[in-house]
A = this chain, B = another copy of it.
Amino acid sequence: MEEGGRIIVVSNRGPVTFSRGESGEREHSRGAGGLVTALNAVVRRAENAVWIASAQSEEDLAVAKEPAPYEVEDLRIRLVEHDPKSYDLMYNVLANPLLWFVQHGLYDLPYSPALGEETRRAWEEGYVPVNRNFAEAVVETAAGEESPTVLLHDYQLYMAPLFVRERLGGDVFISLFVHIPWPEPDLWRVLPGYVREGVLESLLAADVVAFHTRRYARAFAETAAAVLGAEVGDGVVRYRGREVWVREYPISIDPEEFEELAGSEAVLEQEKYVKGLPGKLLLRVDRTDLSKNVVRGFAAYGRMLERHPEMKGEVTFLAQLQPSRTDVPEYAEYMEAVGRTAEEVNERHGTDSWRPVELFMEDNFPRSVAAYKNFDVLLVNAVRDGMNLVAKESAVINEKNGVLVLSENAGAHEELGEHALTVNPFDVDEQADAIHAALTMPEAERERRAKALRDTVKSNTIEDWVEAQIEDIESYRERHG
């Protein structure tokens, strides 16, 4: 980043959360999760970068009121205070049900969504003002900087490119990275007019709009053409006299982080449990999201056991599910269906000495990592998934030449598909066949595939992900002055 000015990273969730310790002093805990790890890599790469995020805790609000940026560890952080009602409308009405559901194709369209006043209010009084707050924080952070670089992240911030552009003009470089799938135009059109057009107008005020896969990038360009009449070229959308680059940068992981984790005490402790499970280990690790396709996964496993009774007792399906949005009725219902389906498989096929499914709906990352090391087959059968980092994380530390059964609708499929067993997430039988094929695959083939998976992940780490974006920022700047 020799040429551009200060880097400003913006995401809804920040890298740390502040609190007060028992004796009253300020404490902080670092966040986990793929996006935070990735953005840490961006911030580490740049001199003097500032990370802007929403204040979440009470102590975060205190930090938000102090002079920014606030320095902690190696980070410069600016926290943004939102009106709690606005934030709630943005998060719990507009971003998480509406945009998430549309972009993952989760709605039961004959019945829902039923858009109305509540949607409009969530947009006008929630999403828009929260995005204006972020833009304001960017403007303040950029004050006095020449040619700042603003890297906005994800679907909570779709309106920020426009608001930043309005305030800072053409000198600022703006990108927005969409970390979830981008749907095709017909699905995008489910959104009310003011959202579907508003978001696109804003994204096309950025210089780069980035995605994890070619498929999402192409769908975005097609959506811009279909909804706004934008002109679409190869990796470029032209709109209102501006040229916007539409790019894919498949997000990745830090292999060393997982190699270290793999040897940690907490993981070694959990490995005792994992290694004690009878038979081969079939694994899934997911949030309990409707997009993850847990129900069909259990159904497929049950069907495999029906078709291949010789597999009974020879395999255990460990499902590590991290509860998510449990207060949302659709999610509560889904978790019930998940539990019910697992129980059906256990009742139907289990014996006194063997439980076919071991289901945990709880947060236990060390056990997940222990299972990463030991699975024979990993099932990633998402209905739709922006990337799916579990497939990548586990590939670098698995010690069993584990086979990946991978949904064609997971973003990871563009990179890993050729070394995995590809499944259509809606086809239960195909998944049953793939699970069986994976469990019975000859060792030589397992080894070849596992190595290819590992090499592929290691050839595009999170550092490469950052580098590719920075190169494009420099090219864009060179080309557009």
Contact = CB atoms under 8 A, between A and B. Distances in A.
A427 B111 CA distance: 11
A114 B428 contact: yes
B183 A426 contact: no
A426 B109 contact: yes
Contacts of A111: 295, 337
A290 B106 contact: no
Contact of A427 (B116, B290, B303, B429): B116
Given A114-B296, A184-B184, A299-B114, A190 B426 contact: yes
A214 to B, nearest CB: 11
Interface string A181-193: 0011111011011
B106 A106 contact: no
A109 B110 CA distance: 12
Nearest to A111: B295
Nearest to A430: B192
A114 B189 contact: no
Contacts of A222: 222
Interface residues of A, number: 44
B295 A383 contact: no
B193 A110 contact: no
Given A183-B186, A184-B186, A408-B189, A383 B426 contact: no
Contact of A116 (B115, B185, B429): B429
- This chain: copies in complex: 2
B189 A186 contact: no
Interface in A181-224: 183-187, 189-190, 192-193, 219, 222
A113 interface: yes
A424 B193 contact: yes
Contact of A426 (B113, B185, B408, B426): B113
Interface in A160-189: 183-187, 189
Contact of A424 (B115, B185, B334, B409): B115
A147 to B, nearest CB: 38
A105 interface: yes
B193 A430 contact: yes
A97 to B, nearest CB: 13
B184 A110 contact: no
A257 interface: no
A76 interface: no
A366 to B, nearest CB: 29
Interface in A414-444: 424, 426-430, 432
Interface in A390-409: 408-409
A192 B424 contact: yes
A120 B303 CA distance: 15
B189 A424 contact: yes
A83 to B, nearest CB: 24
A429 B115 contact: yes
Contacts of A428: 114-116
Interface string A96-139: 00000000011111110111110110000000000000000000
A293 to B, nearest CB: 7
A334 to B, nearest CB: 7
A456 interface: no
A473 B114 CA distance: 44
A110 B430 contact: no
B117 A290 contact: no
B424 A186 contact: no
A291 interface: yes
A293 B110 contact: yes
